[in-house]
Structure formats: C-alpha cells, structure tokens
Amino acid sequence: MRVTTLLLFIITTFGLCSFGNAASAHIHSQHNKANSGERTKDGPFSPRGKDHYTRENHQDFDHEAILGSVKETEKFDKLPTEESKRRLGILLTKMDLNNDKYIERNELKAWILRSFSMLSAEESQDRLEDADTDEDGKVSWSEILQDTYGTDPEDLAVDDKLITDDKQTFEAADIDKDGYLDTEEFKAYTHPEETPRMFPLLLRQALDDKDTDKDGFISFQEFIGNKAKAEDKEWLLMEKSKFDYEHDKNGDGRLDSDEVLSWLVPSNEEIASNEVTHLFAASDDDHDNRLSFDEILDHHDTFVGSEATDYGDHLQDIERFTDEL
C-alpha cells in the first residue's frame, strides 16, 4: 500500500512539474565514440557482454572472454577446426596455473578477467590510433573533439554539457597534466569505469546530474528522473523494486556514494563469474566441477570458434599471440 501511494505521488508530481535536466545527456547518451565503455540510457556503464544471451551471435562474447582480443577472435573463427583446437590447446597450458591438466573455476575466472583487461586495452588503442591525427602516439583535447564530434572545435558551444563532461574526463585522465593523453591515460579516458582513480569524477558527475536537492544522495524520485512522465505503473513498480533491492543496499531509501558507484560501475568480477558458470554448464560433461583439456577441446567452438573459412591469408602469428599471454 505504501509503495502504491508513493508511486501515485510520483506520477502526480511528474505530471505537474519537471525536475529539469536532472540527468545530463552525457550520462544517458552513447554519443562518445572514444568512450568504449558506453553508459546505458538510465545511467550506468554497460557491462561487458550485456547482450550475451540475447544477441544473434552470442558466442562472440565467449570467444572474446577466452582470447582477450576482438581481432584474435575474428581470426580464430576463420581457422580450420583442427588448427583452432591446436591453438586452443596452447592457451589451456597457460590457463592451467597448477599444471594438473584441468581448468578449475578460479583458473578460468582469472583468465577471463585478464581477457577483459586485454580487450579494454585493445579497444582503447584502436580509438587512440583513430583520434591521433598527427600520429605522435598521444592525443590532445582538440583531437578528441574532432574525432568524437566531427566538427571544428571553435564551432562547439563551450557550455555544452556533453563537452563539459568529456573535458572533465580528459583532464582527470591526464595524470601528468601535459595536455595530452598517452596510451595508459587514454585508456583511463575511454574506460573510466575500469579505472579506480576516475571513480571520484564519475561519482561527482552522477551527483551533478541526478542529485537535484544537492544533499549528496540520490532518492528514488531523483533516480528515475523525468522518465517517470512517459512510463506506466508497471515500469515504476519494476524500477522501485530494483532501486530497493539491487541498489539501495543499506535500505535507507536513498543511494549514498558507495551505492551510486556500485550502480554506475559494472563489476567485472561478477560478469566473469557468470561467464565461468555459463562455460562450465556448456562443457563440464562429467559434472565434476572442473574442465579437462579434452572437455574444452570437445567444446572448442564454445570457447574459440571453428569456422573453416578464408584459411591461409588470415592465419595469425601464433607466436605473437602466445608471447602476449
């Protein structure tokens, strides 16, 4: 009854007035090509593999989680079956930390977390190369503006919220304050949700956007923002349930700094654990809670793909890849 009363109050309130621009376009937009870790429309960064179980080619995420590279995934997918299995066998010896010829859950999780880090580095490096127009190995703010917005920096409005937030992110990532982002700094810019030193900025931007009464917390009304005006009661009930049981961990009816960050920043640990569960369910044929090399190789298509197409020109240098492992 109390929830229904609250929801009726919210519907009435949002029908009569607006909280204003409580959530900036930076939080809700996917405008920024440089920021690979895009935020979803309701605020938090999209977790890696968020569409794993719904997209048509869901195996891509499994393959990337093992190989740690989109490029290597594409190459593995074009190998003949036996060659793909041979190379997967090389990876298994590196994944098997205790050399017992089995992959335990903790070993697979550690490997997947390492792969996530490699994927982020690869994504960031690709973006740096795109933005680095003068090819000096680093990017300036003007290069980012040109690459992200595709316009002359002089023509951009200085008070544009998107640009303001991006400039703050650039400045926070530029740890040596030289006006340029090198490889590591640019990774902090493109993946702030994976860079702990960037968390204070993410928190401040989220509070600036949503904390309309400036009390340092985000209430449920602030959390849902102007979206409530266009949604029905069922949506409000679902959002209230998520707010209460997923985000408001201490149950005080509002999100504090730690809870806001927990909402904003996806947990790679949790995502990796879920991927381990998925891969074990697909491959642990004898249900002994560990994967033998044979079990993984029998299910190699789940782990690295097996399309025997375009063999020859697309063979990657296995030595280069294994040297990075």
The 10s digit of each residue's pLDDT in 267-280 is 889 988 988 998 99
| In-domain check, residue 325 | no
| In-domain check, residue 38 | no
pLDDT of residue 312: 28
| In-domain check, residue 33 | no
| In-domain check, residue 315 | no
Going by pLDDT thresholds of 50, 70 and 90, the confidence category of residue 298 is: very high
Does position 308 have pLDDT exceeding 60, yes or no?
no
The 10s digit of each residue's pLDDT in 312-324 is 222 344 444 444 4
Q: Which two tokens stand for residue 160?
A: 């544009």
Q: Are 7 and 237 in contact (CB under 8 A)?
A: yes
Which range of residues forms the domain containing residue 69?
58-217+256-306
Better-scored residue on pLDDT, 27 or 37: 37
Q: Are 64 and 115 in contact (CB under 8 A)?
A: yes
Better-scored residue on pLDDT, 194 or 312: 194
pLDDT of residue 61: 61
Going by pLDDT thresholds of 50, 70 and 90, the confidence category of residue 255 is: very high
Q: Are 19 and 174 in contact (CB under 8 A)?
A: no
Q: Are 153 and 101 in contact (CB under 8 A)?
A: no
Q: Whole-model pTM?
A: 0.72
Q: What is the mean pLDDT of residues 115-131?
A: 91
- 89 vs 60: CA distance, rounded Å: 19
Q: Are 181 and 170 in contact (CB under 8 A)?
A: yes
SS3 244: helix
Average pLDDT, the chain: 78
Going by pLDDT thresholds of 50, 70 and 90, the confidence category of residue 226 is: confident
- 325 vs 320: CA distance, rounded Å: 9
| In-domain check, residue 313 | no
Percent over 70 (pLDDT), the chain: 67
| In-domain check, residue 95 | yes
Domain count, the chain: 1
The 10s digit of each residue's pLDDT in 77-90 is 677 888 888 888 98
Going by pLDDT thresholds of 50, 70 and 90, the confidence category of residue 67 is: low
